[in-house]
Amino acid sequence: MTPSASEVLAPAAPSVPRLLERCRDLVRPALTEAVERLHPWLGEMAAYSFGWCEVGGAPVDASGGKGVRQALAVLGAEVAGVPGPSGVAAAVAVELVHTFSLLHDDIMDGDPMRRRRATAWKAYGTGPAVLAGDALFALAVETVAWTPGGPAGMRLLSAALTDVVSGQADNLLFAARPWSGPERVRPEEYRTMAERKTGALLGCALSLGAALGGAPPATTAALERVGRHAGTAFQIVDDVLGIWGDPAVTGKPVHGDLRERKKTYPVLAALDAPVPAARRLAALLESVDVPDEALARHAAALVTEAGGRTAALAQARRHLAAVESGLAELPLAGPAVDELRTLLSFLVRREL
């Protein structure tokens, strides 16, 4: 069963596609110019990763993704009332860092496909994809360093990157831990990992443009907190979709995360529950290395029976409430704030 939007949040306003398009159009020239500064081979791999070309460099007539993170950077700057170029520079840096993290994550996770085509490491090889990711990281640092608010921006970016790397380290270590017993992964450990791995970059996206434009530190910090909560909610909703999502929407098979034995929030919350279904779920997950569809379907039913799905949606709602509270505390108003609220609603109610 696919989670409805009403399970998590009210439907997003119809203006979201136009908002994302506006921000993409604003950022794309600067992002293209940055990528063109790379070594041509690295630039081609970067363009492939953004969805701009095929292997070999043939152009593709596509937007290269929704561009939510760059839109957050633009809106964060607009909300804070800082000059427009600060938001664009922040958007370029955040998009470069996000793509760098995807290049490396796909290698670590062994994922062969992303957005319905081969991942960069499958298309170009592992070594080249690692190098392309390194190049994008260096380019992001250069982009921030050359802005007028570079020092403040570098502090934000470096703190976010430290958290992203720490979160990914925890995520990799979780895979080796047992499904039951005192060494199992607890839901709160996973929530902390999600805040670091996913929330930190969204918090950086929302606050970096404000920081680069010289916004008051209190405003920048408030935007960073809002982004972190939104990112954590997004990850937990993504976990729900990874089990029960509609393949036509997510691009992934139903029960896919269970078939891959991923330790996601709904599963961990179910395993933590003091009910018989939790013990049956642990026994099932410990009994097979690669569950077939029938076993994955049974596991999903046990997750629901043990309360894992309900617990995940409740946790997402708590972070959404923190997002709303954080936005309400900002001494700001106007169209940009309304657009930001709409975009954050969109972010946490579907897979991006």
Least confident of 8-22, 167-181, 295-309: 8-22
Tokens of 47: 């363009």
Query: Higher-confidence residue: 61 or 274?
Result: 274
Q: Please provide the average confidence, as pLDDT, over all residues in the chain.
A: 92
Instruction: With a cut of 70, say whether residue 13 has pLDDT above it.
Output: no
What local confidence, expressed as pLDDT, does residue 5 receive?
37
pLDDT in tens, 70-110: 999 999 999 999 988 999 999 999 999 999 999 999 999 99
Tokens of 9: 């949040």
**CA–CA separation, 73 vs 90, rounded Å?**
6
Architecture of the 5-348 domain: Orthogonal Bundle (1.10)
Angle at 229 between CA 247 and CA 187, to 5 degrees: 70
* Domain ranges within the chain, ordered by starting residue: 5-348
Query: Higher-confidence residue: 262 or 248?
Result: 262
Phi/psi at 2 (5° precision): -80, 130
pLDDT in tens, 286-297: 999 889 999 999
**CA–CA separation, 108 vs 197, rounded Å?**
14
What local confidence, expressed as pLDDT, does residue 163 receive?
98
Q: Cβ distance 203 to 164 under 8 Å?
A: no
pLDDT average, residue stretch 127-149: 97
Least confident of 12-21, 120-129, 161-170, 315-324: 12-21
Least confident of 2-6, 203-207, 214-218, 298-302: 2-6
DSSP H stretches of helix in the chain: 5-8, 16-35, 40-50, 68-80, 84-109, 120-124, 126-145, 150-174, 187-194, 200-212, 217-244, 247-250, 256-259, 265-271, 276-287, 293-305, 308-329, 335-348
Query: Higher-confidence residue: 124 or 6?
Result: 124
pLDDT average, residue stretch 150-179: 96
What local confidence, expressed as pLDDT, does residue 329 receive?
87
pLDDT band at residue 350 using 50, 70 and 90 as cut-offs: low
pLDDT band at residue 21 using 50, 70 and 90 as cut-offs: very high
What local confidence, expressed as pLDDT, does residue 10 receive?
42
Residue type, 200: A
What local confidence, expressed as pLDDT, does residue 6 receive?
40
* Share above pLDDT 90 across residues of the chain, in percent, rounded to a whole number: 82
pLDDT average, residue stretch 325-330: 90
pLDDT band at residue 347 using 50, 70 and 90 as cut-offs: confident
**CA–CA separation, 109 vs 172, rounded Å?**
9
Query: Higher-confidence residue: 92 or 351?
Result: 92
